[in-house]
Amino acid sequence: MGTYLLEGPQGNESNCYHLGYNMNERIKELAEQCYEHDQSWTGVGQRIFNKEKFAELIVRDCMDVAKNWDDQLISAKLVKESNAVGIVVYRIARQFGVKE
């Protein structure tokens, strides 16, 4: 497994993200939404990475992919398959404690 280091963007794309492999643009977009300004007296001007928010955004994105597939199955009148996808979405949400 690669290293787990996420550094805040500092105007240089090459040193922003490193997980031991190349992340696709969607992961970078989600990661960018997870930086918050540190409000403590020691962190003036610092940005911190909210790991919980990042995990939730990834889970929600995965659920959205499945829901979109579910919509396509319903449109194709593939009800059994659609029900199976719905169950998977529900179980993913439950597994990670994310509300649908």
pTM of structure? 0.69
Give the span between the Cα atoms of 76 and 71, in whole angstroms: 9
Q: Is the distance from CB of 67 to CB of 94 less than 8 angstroms?
A: no
Q: Is the distance from CB of 60 to CB of 53 less than 8 angstroms?
A: no
pLDDT of residue 100: 76
Which amino acid, 67? K
Q: Domain end: 12, 33, 49, which one?
A: 49
Full domain range(s) for residue 29:
1-49
Is there a single domain that holds both residue 11 and residue 36? yes
| Per-residue pLDDT reduced to its tens digit, 57-69 | 999 999 999 999 9
Is there a single domain that holds both residue 39 and residue 68? no
Which amino acid, 37? H
Is there a single domain that holds both residue 37 and residue 71? no
Per the structure, the count of domains in the chain is 2
Strands, DSSP E only, in the chain? 5-6, 17-18, 35-37, 47-49
| Per-residue pLDDT reduced to its tens digit, 30-59 | 999 999 887 776 666 688 899 999 999 999
